[in-house]
Amino acid sequence: MVHIIRLEKSSEGILGTLMIDRRIFCVTLERDDTFIKQGMYHCQRFHGAKWKDTYEIEIPGHTAVLFHAGNVEADTAGCILLGATAGKLRGHRAVLNSGATFRAFMECFTEDSFTLFISNVFY
């Protein structure tokens, strides 16, 4: 199982940690106005024009909510960005070393789907 624990919410996005099989794998960044609620989701392998190979989080009423590389909140329209560490980039909250982290994330899975659980610990 994959678990995202959202740790902090600000105007520069929601920062969290992603765990795979109860081990911390990376940090995450989402938009601060995300429509992904706390809960359990099915994630399915996804092949698209921009993101050739990733996973889609199946959310009723939404399509192409993906895991992908990116550094700052402006790099996502509702997807989850993955990075090795949290920091700043051009003065904005960021996840860093995102490309390599995303590739390593994809190497963790051999199946076409997995279960994702998202929880918030911020107020």
pTM, full prediction: 0.95
Instruction: Tell me the one-letter amino acid at 47.
Output: H
Task: Report, as an integer, the average pLDDT of 91-113.
Answer: 97
In terms of Cβ atoms closer than 10 Å to its own Cβ (0-12, 13-18, 19+), residue 58 is middle
Name which residue leads in pLDDT, 32 or 103. Answer: 103
d(CA 52, CA 24) in angstroms, rounded, equals 25
Give me the pLDDT at residue 123, please: 67
pLDDT one-digit tens code per residue, 16-43: 999 999 999 999 999 998 889 999 999 9
Task: Report, as an integer, the average pLDDT of 81-102.
Answer: 97
Structure tokens at 102: 């995303």
Helix (H, G, I), strand (E, B) or coil at 66: strand
